[in-house]
Amino acid sequence: MLYAIHCLDRENTLSIRLENYDAHRNYLNTTQTNIVLAGPVTAADQSTPIGSFMIICVDNQEEAERFNHGDPFYRLNVWDKASIRIQPFIKRRGWSEDT
């Protein structure tokens, strides 16, 4: 099942995000979780990262939460934990690759 994960950064955490970007990327690159797509949410300047958005394929909500909680950005409090939304997602259109 697909899950959308939307996380917004806490205020004034850009430096922490940038300092730990490699650890975040390593987590995404080495996880056993099927990541369908992932990328930063940006400010209006379309450049400054202010959060993260991912679509993952897992069996249930608990697996999606476990994946999210394992991310260095979660553990280092880059993301505002109250802002995190993890919800089932139904793909209706988009990339034709199998998910």
Instruction: Tell me the pLDDT tens digit for each residue of 7-38.
Output: 999 999 999 999 999 999 999 999 999 999 99
Task: Kindly state the average pLDDT of the residues 55-80.
Answer: 98
Q: Identify the band that residue 95 occupies on the pLDDT scale cut at 50, 70 and 90.
A: confident
For 2-89, which CATH class?
alpha beta
Domain boundaries, the chain: 2-89
Q: Whole-model pTM above 0.75?
A: yes
Separation between Cα atoms, residue 15 and residue 76, nearest integer Å: 12
Residue type, 14: L
Helix (H, G, I), strand (E, B) or coil at 57: strand
